[in-house]
Structure 1
Amino acid sequence: MKKSAVTFAFVLFFFVFMTEISFGQVVKLKSTALAMKVKNDDNRWSDWSDWESTSVLIVADDSRITVYSKEKQVYDIIENEGKKTDSDGDDVLTFSCINEDGARCRLRLIKRNSQNGEAQLYVDFNDMKWVYNLELLET
């Protein structure tokens, strides 16, 4: 278990480093769970849904993030907004993106430093958000 966490941390760091310098490194991740929320008619966000178990391949490189869910999701990266550390001490890498339908969105890859290096991918649209819990695939 410890080896897996160390490997994950190393690959996540490598992904962040490679994305920032645009070498085109491909990183493969697998989702383990999914939760969603939507904006209601009164312009307020719903609570997050219960976690749903998933096993979806996610492939990222320097120009695109693809989620191979039942309905394939393709996000072309418009801008790498950089890496920040949030108030919880988690590392957040944010991308401004556009999907295959031309809708703009923001993707956030978060490494949870407080929770054994777990990672999540947030997909944020104006009216809907979802989050995947992630694990690295061995390469």
Structure 2
Amino acid sequence: MMRLKKIFLILFLIVGMQYSYCQIYKFQSTGFSVLEKNDKGDWGKWSDLQNTSLIITLDTNKNRIIIYSQEIQLYKIVNYETKQVSGDNEINAFTCSNDDGEPFVISIITRKNQGNRKQLYINQKKVIIVYNIVNFIDTIKK
């Protein structure tokens, strides 16, 4: 009986350790803007910031980022890049792919000099989308 308890304890610790490394982060967007390349391949201007309220999920269990917009955007995380910290920004970047298999980078940038404001950038070949985001838990408390 004592041996069985020890086995259950060891199994519990092993399973618990695995779950502690995998997490799901939820954000809520408050606005977005788009930057597109023109026919000549030059970047245009950022669009006006549009208000939005979308849920964005970073799921490290399933290696994906999901943006719950009118058309759900699902991005597979191919690689977790090294976190970069500068004087003003903290950047967590992910090499991702979409349904077409094209690689691109999604970054979550924390602007330290702007009250730790967070932004999510989707950097594709012909378009960049930026979402202003807040932690989903913070939106529930307000």
Q: Does 1:57 align with 2:55?
A: yes
Report the residue type matching 2:117 in the other structure: E
Alignment partner, residue 117 of structure 2:
118
Please report the TM-score for the alignment, with normalisation by the length of structure 1: 0.79
Q: Does 1:71 align with 2:71?
A: yes
Which runs of 5 or more structure 1 residues have no equivalent in the other structure?
1-21
Please report the TM-score for the alignment, with normalisation by the length of structure 2: 0.78
1:46-96 C-alpha deviation (Å, 9 max, x unpaired): 11100000000001122111000111011111011111124x620011110
Alignment partner, residue 92 of structure 1:
91
- Residue 41 of structure 1 and its aligned partner are, at CA, apart by 1.1
Which runs of 5 or more structure 2 residues have no equivalent in the other structure?
1-19
Alignment partner, residue 126 of structure 2:
127
Question: What is the alpha-carbon distance in structure 2 between the residues aligned to residue 89 and residue 117 of structure 1?
Answer: 9
Q: Does 1:46 align with 2:44?
A: yes
- Residue 101 of structure 1 and its aligned partner are, at CA, apart by 3.2
SS in 2 for 1:97: strand
Q: Give the number of aligned pairs.
A: 117
Larger Rg: 2
Determine which structure has the larger helix proportion and give its number: 2
CA RMSD of aligned residues (A): 1.5
Question: What is the alpha-carbon distance in structure 1 between the residues aligned to residue 68 and residue 100 of structure 2?
Answer: 16
